[in-house]
Structure 1
Amino acid sequence: MAIWIAVLCTLLTVVLGSLHFLGAFRRRRPKEPPLDKGYIPWLGYALDFRNNSSEFLQKMQRKHGDIFTVLIGGYYFTFVMDPLSFGAIVKESRSKLDFEKFASELVRRVFGYHPVSTDHKIIQLASTKYLMGDGLVVMTQAMMENLQNVLLHSLGAGVEGRPWSQDGLFHYSYNIVFRAGYLALYGNEPTNGTASKKKAQEHDRTHSEEVFHEFRKYDRLFPRLAYAVLPPKDKMEAERLKKLFWNMLSVKKTYTKDNISGWISSQERDLEENGVPEYMRDRFMFLLLWASQGNTGPASFWLLLYLMKHPEAMKAVREEVDQVLKESGQAVKPCSTPVNVTRDMLTKTPVLDSAVEEMLRLAAGPILIRAVVEDMNLKMANGEDYILRGGDRVALFPYVAVQMDPEIHPEPLTFKYNRFLNPDGTKKDFYKNGKKLKYSTMPWGAGTSICPGRFFAVNEIKLFVFLMLLYYDMELVNGEEEIPPIDNSRWGFGMMQPTHDIQFRYRLRF
C-alpha cells in the first residue's frame, strides 16, 4: 500500500507541476492588468492570435480596455493599446524591458544565427554610418544605379510604338525592388572594360532574379516558421533554403564582388573581430538580406496600387515628380541615358512623402515586443498604475492602437495621399483626447529597437516609384477590381502582403 501511495503522490506532483507550467494556476495579482488565459492550457489564445492578430486584439480591447494580459503559447503578453502610454514603454531602460531576448529567439529559429551580445551595437553603428547622413547619399546612388540596370536596361531596345506589358503588380514591384536592393548592398559582378561591363550587368540581372526566386519561397514560409508551426515537408524545405542562402551569401562569395556596401562589409568585419566564426557570419548575411529587403518590395506594391486606385493621388504625385526632375535639369527622352535621381532630389517631395506615410499607415503591421526583466510599475497616460510581472512580455500593436484609430485618423480605411500634410505643405500633427501624439504611425518600431535602415528603405521605395512614374503609364487590367485583402498570417512581421496578386499593365510614356 505504501508503494502505491508513493506512486500516486509522485503522479500528483507531476500533474500539479505540469498544470503550473501550463499556466493553470496563475491568478491576477493586485494592480496587475486584466488577465485572460483562454480555455486551452499553455496554448491560451495562440491559435486566435496567429490566425488574425488584428481581429483578436480588437476583440480583447473591447472586452478588457486599453491594457490586458493574455496567454499565448506559454508566454504571458501584456498588450498596451493606448498610444498616449506608448512613451513609457518605448523609453524604458533595457534593464527593465529588454527587446533583445525575444529577437534572439526569433533569429535563431528563422535564420539559424546565434546572436552575440555586441550584435545590436554593431548593427546600429554600421546603419548610422552607412544608411544615414552622407552614407545614405552613397547608398541611394548605388540603389539608383542598380535600378537603372534592373528596371530600365531595355530602354531604346528598338521596339516600335508603345506596346503594353502585363504582370502581377505584387510580383513586379517586389521583384524589381528586391533585386536592385540586393545588388546595391551585396555588390556586383566584377568588370573589366566596356564589353565586360555589359556582361557583368547582364549577369547581375540573371543572378538577382535567381536570388529573388528562392527568397520568395522562403518568404512564403516565414510566418509559420517564426511561429514554429511548419509541417514536416515545409520544415525540410525551409532548412534547404537556409543552407542555400548561407552558401549563396557566404563571406567568401560576397568578397569576390565589386561595390560591396560598407553596411555589409563593416558588420561582417566587426563580427569577425568579436570572435564570431565564419559559418555563423554566413548566416548573419542571410539575416541582413531579409531584414533589408523583406519589406520594401511589398511596400512599393501597396504604394503603386493605391496611386492607381486614386487618380487624384496619382496626378498629384506625378506632377511633383515631373517638377523635381525638371528642376534638376534632366529630362526623360527616347534612347537617352536613364535619368539619375539623387538623395537631394528625394528630399523635395512632400506629396510623395505623405503618400508613402499613408501607405505605411494602411499596410504596416509590426508588433513591438519587450521582455519584462523584473516586476515593474507602468503608469498609463490616464494616471492609472499597473504592475508588470517579471518573466512576462509587454507588446504594442500600433496598427490597431494608432493607425486605425478614427479619432487620430478619420476614415482610417481610406487612402488619403495628403493626410500627413497641412494645407501649406508642412507636416501635420495628430492628436488623441486633445493631446498631441508623438507616434501617429509606427511602421518602423520605436525607441532603441527602431529600424536602423528606415531612411534607406524609404529611399528604395521612393526611387522605384519615382522611376515608374517618370518612365511608364500604368493602369490596372481591371480598374473595378477591389484592393486585395491583407494576408492575416503576416501580422507582426512588418509590411503586410496581399492574399493574392492583382494584374496591371504598363508602357513607356514616350
Structure 2
Amino acid sequence: MSAVLLLLLGLVSLLLLVLRRSSRTRRDGEPPLIKGWIPVVGKALEFGQNSFKFLLEHQKKHGDIFTVQIAGKYMTFILNPLLFPNIVKDGRHLDFHEFSYKVGSHAFGYPLMKPKEFPGLQEQVSRSFLLLQGDSLSPLTESMLGNLQLVLRQDFLGQRPGEECDWKSHSIYKFCNSVMFEATLLTMYGRPPAASRHSGMDVIMENFVKYDTKFPLLVAQIPLWLLGQTKAIREELTRVFLPQKMTRWSNASQFIRKRLEIFDQFDMLRDLDKAAHNFGILWASAANTVPATFWALYHLVTHPEVAEVVRQELLDVLSQSGVEFSSDRDVTLTREQLDKLVYLDSAVKESLRLSSASMNVRVAMDDFSLRLEGERSVAVRKGDVVTLFPQITHMDPEIYEEPETYRFDRFVQDGKEKKNFYKDGRKLKYYLMPFGSGSSKCPGRYFAVYEIKQFLCLVLLHLDLQLEEGQGGAALDPGRAGLGILWPSADVRFRYRLRAVPPGPTAQ
C-alpha cells in the first residue's frame, strides 16, 4: 500500500472521528447542549471573544447549567455558586490533576510525570507546595520584602524626597511588572554569584511577556510549531534555570531547593526537563500576580482618597508596633502587621473580584450522575469537563451591589473582614474565587496576596501618585479568560515622586 494511500486513509479516519464527536446529541438527564456549526471548533470563537458575555447570554436562555462544545471538548458549565460545593468535594468522579499535568507538560516542555516512569515524583512535587504555606511563609515574605525594596530603591527611588518639580512619568503595568517580576525571581530562585541582581533581566522579562501572550493557545493544546517563535523563546527562558546555573545562585527559597532535591533523584529527567519545571514555577509565580498587582495599584491611583485611607492605616499599624517610617531606611513589615491592614486587604480583594476570570475545571473520569442539591442531578459523560466560572458570581448584582463599581471597603464589616455574602437568601461558601477551589486551588495564593500587599505598602509609603490627565480608564482584555487575572487592554500612565517624609529612627 502506497504512502499516499495510507495518508488518505488516515485523514478519512480522522474526519470520521471528528464527525462522530461533532454529531453528539443530548441524552435524557443531560444539561442543554450548545454546539456550533463548525465541527470540533464548536463555540470556541464566540467563547474566546468574550467568555463572560457568552456565558451570561446562555445562562439567561438555558439556566445555570449547560454544556458547550469548545475546541473539541464538551464543557459543562455550572454557574450557580450555591452548587459549587458539590463539584468541589466530588473527588471520586471528577479529577483536576491529570488535566493540569497534561497542560503543564505541553506548555513548558517537560515529560509527563507518569508513575511507571517516575515513581513517586508526582506525590513529592505535590508535597513541595506545602513550603509555600504555613510557617514557611514567614522567611519567604521576609525575603520578598527585601527584594522589593532592593529593586524599588535602585530603579525608582533614586531621588531626594520633597524636591520640587521632581515628578516622573511611567506606565502602571510596566512599573508593576519591572518590580514584581524581578523581586519574585530573586525571592524564589536566589541571586547570582557576586551580584545582588541578575543580568539581562530586561530580555528575560520581554521574552516572558511574549511567551505569556501565547499561553492561552498552549492551554488549548495548539501545536508549538504553529506558534511562530514561541518554541525558541521558551527554550531561551528554560535555559535560564539549568541546574548548573542555579547551583551557583545563593538565597534560593526552601521551596525551590526542595524541588531541586526531588528532581535530582530521577536520572531519567534531563537537565532541560528540570529547568522546564523551574520555568513553569516562574510562570505560575508571575503570570497572574503581576496583572493582579496592576489592578490593585491602578484602583489606588485612580482613587486617591482610598490610597490615603490605606496609607494612614499602614502608618497607624507601624506606629502601634513602635516603628516610625523613614524614607531613607528599609522598613520591616511582618505577616502579623500585614494581617492587621483590613482596608488594604479589602482593596486587594475588590481588585481581584473585578479582574479575575479564572475557570475551575474538573474532568469526568467516567459516566456518572452529578448530584447537585436535594434530588437534583445531571448526567455527565466520561471525558467531559465540568467547569465553574466564578466571574459570573463576582459580577452578580444579587451578591455584590453595583458589581461593576470599585468599592475598596466592600470586604470590611465593623472593622473586620466581611465574609457574609448571599444568593437567594442563603449564605455562600464560595463568593470570591480568584485562586480556584478544592484540588485546583493555587497552592501559592497566600504568598501571592502577601507580595501584592507588600508592594502596595512600599509604594504608598515612599511615593506620591497621580494619574496622568487626558487618558481613559483601564479596561479588561477578555483574551485571557479562564487563566486567572485579565490584563488591561492598554497600559495607563501615571506620575510619581518621593513623598516628603522626615527621617526617623531605624525601623525595627
Per the TM superposition, whether the score is higher than 0.5 is yes
CA deviation string 1:206-235 (max 9, x = no partner): 443442222122122222333355896x72
Structure 1 residues 372 and 337 mapped into 2: Cα distance closer, same or farther (>3 Å)? same
Structure 1 residues 160 and 66 mapped into 2: Cα distance closer, same or farther (>3 Å)? closer
Answer yes or no: is the 8 Å Cα contact 2:315–2:325 preserved in 1: no
Structure 1 residues 418 and 73 mapped into 2: Cα distance closer, same or farther (>3 Å)? same
Amino acid at match of 1:21: R
Structure 1 equivalent of residue 228 of structure 2:
236
**Alpha-carbon distance in 1 for matches of 2:467, 2:123:** 45
Structure 2 equivalent of residue 297 of structure 1:
290
**Alpha-carbon distance in 2 for matches of 1:236, 1:16:** 26
Q: Residue 147 of structure 1: CA displacement?
A: 0.7
Question: Cα RMSD over matched residues?
Answer: 2.3
CA deviation string 1:400-422 (max 9, x = no partner): 1x101111111110111111111
Structure 1 residues 292 and 123 mapped into 2: Cα distance closer, same or farther (>3 Å)? farther
Aligned to 1:143, what secondary structure does the other structure show?
Answer: helix
Are 2:220 and 1:227 aligned?
yes
1:39-54 alignment runs, 5 A limit: 39-54=37-52
Amino acid at match of 1:358: E
**Alpha-carbon distance in 2 for matches of 1:300, 1:360:** 9
Structure 1 residues 209 and 17 mapped into 2: Cα distance closer, same or farther (>3 Å)? closer
CA deviation string 1:324-381 (max 9, x = no partner): 22223333335x3221222222111111111111111000111111110001111223
Amino acid at match of 1:127: F
Aligned to 2:416, what secondary structure does the other structure show?
Answer: coil
Q: Residue 114 of structure 1: CA displacement?
A: 2.3
CA deviation string 1:260-283 (max 9, x = no partner): 111111122223324551321111
Equivalent residue in structure 1 for 2:399, among 385, 408, 413: 408
Are 2:420 and 1:429 aligned?
yes
Equivalent residue in structure 1 for 2:474, among 484, 487, 490: 484
Answer yes or no: is the 8 Å Cα contact 1:124–1:452 preserved in 2: no
Amino acid at match of 2:43: Y
Are 2:132 and 1:131 aligned?
yes
Structure 1 segments, 4+ long, off by >4 Å, are 13-16, 117-120, 154-160, 228-232
Amino acid at match of 1:109: H
**Alpha-carbon distance in 1 for matches of 2:303, 2:190:** 37
Amino acid at match of 1:161: E
Q: Residue 474 of structure 1: CA displacement?
A: 0.3
Structure 2 equivalent of residue 102 of structure 1:
99
**Alpha-carbon distance in 1 for matches of 2:398, 2:161:** 52
Are 2:284 and 1:287 aligned?
no
CA deviation string 1:287-338 (max 9, x = no partner): 000001111111111011111222332222111111122223333335x322
**Alpha-carbon distance in 2 for matches of 1:65, 1:159:** 57
Structure 2 equivalent of residue 316 of structure 1:
309
Structure 2 equivalent of residue 361 of structure 1:
353
1:54-65 alignment runs, 5 A limit: 54-65=52-63
Aligned to 1:494, what secondary structure does the other structure show?
Answer: strand
Aligned to 2:229, what secondary structure does the other structure show?
Answer: helix
Amino acid at match of 1:509: R
Answer yes or no: is the 8 Å Cα contact 1:444–1:450 preserved in 2: yes
Are 2:495 and 1:505 aligned?
yes
**Alpha-carbon distance in 2 for matches of 1:229, 1:284:** 20
Structure 1 residues 15 and 123 mapped into 2: Cα distance closer, same or farther (>3 Å)? closer
Provide structure 2 residue ranges, at least 5 long, that are not aligned to the other structure. Answer: 1-8, 501-508
Q: Name the stretch that deviates more: 154-163 or 78-87.
A: 154-163
Structure 2 equivalent of residue 7 of structure 1:
none
Q: Residue 427 of structure 1: CA displacement?
A: 2.5
Structure 2 equivalent of residue 149 of structure 1:
150
Answer yes or no: is the 8 Å Cα contact 1:444–1:454 preserved in 2: yes
**Alpha-carbon distance in 2 for matches of 1:426, 1:301:** 23
Structure 1 residues 427 and 298 mapped into 2: Cα distance closer, same or farther (>3 Å)? same
Structure 2 equivalent of residue 194 of structure 1:
none
Aligned to 2:357, what secondary structure does the other structure show?
Answer: coil
Structure 2 equivalent of residue 190 of structure 1:
193
Answer yes or no: is the 8 Å Cα contact 1:53–1:491 preserved in 2: yes
**Alpha-carbon distance in 2 for matches of 1:386, 1:483:** 42
Equivalent residue in structure 2 for 1:176, among 160, 174, 179: 179
Structure 1 equivalent of residue 411 of structure 2:
420
Answer yes or no: is the 8 Å Cα contact 2:160–2:498 preserved in 1: no
Are 2:109 and 1:89 aligned?
no
CA deviation string 1:245-270 (max 9, x = no partner): 12111121111101011111112222
Q: Residue 105 of structure 1: CA displacement?
A: 2.5
Answer yes or no: is the 8 Å Cα contact 1:175–1:297 preserved in 2: no
Structure 2 equivalent of residue 306 of structure 1:
299
Structure 2 equivalent of residue 495 of structure 1:
485
**Alpha-carbon distance in 1 for matches of 2:230, 2:289:** 22
Structure 1 equivalent of residue 20 of structure 2:
21
Equivalent residue in structure 2 for 1:115, among 112, 116, 128: 112
Are 2:138 and 1:166 aligned?
no
Structure 1 residues 501 and 15 mapped into 2: Cα distance closer, same or farther (>3 Å)? closer
Q: How many pairs are equivalent?
A: 483
Amino acid at match of 2:97: E
Amino acid at match of 1:61: Q
Q: Residue 182 of structure 1: CA displacement?
A: 0.8
**Alpha-carbon distance in 1 for matches of 2:65, 2:241:** 43
Q: Residue 102 of structure 1: CA displacement?
A: 2.1
Q: Residue 138 of structure 1: CA displacement?
A: 0.2
Are 2:449 and 1:458 aligned?
yes
Identity %: 37
Answer yes or no: is the 8 Å Cα contact 2:107–2:218 preserved in 1: yes
Amino acid at match of 1:414: T
Answer yes or no: is the 8 Å Cα contact 2:301–2:307 preserved in 1: yes
TM-score normalized by structure 1?
Answer: 0.89
Amino acid at match of 1:132: Q
Provide structure 1 residue ranges, at least 5 long, that are not aligned to the other structure. Answer: 1-9, 192-199
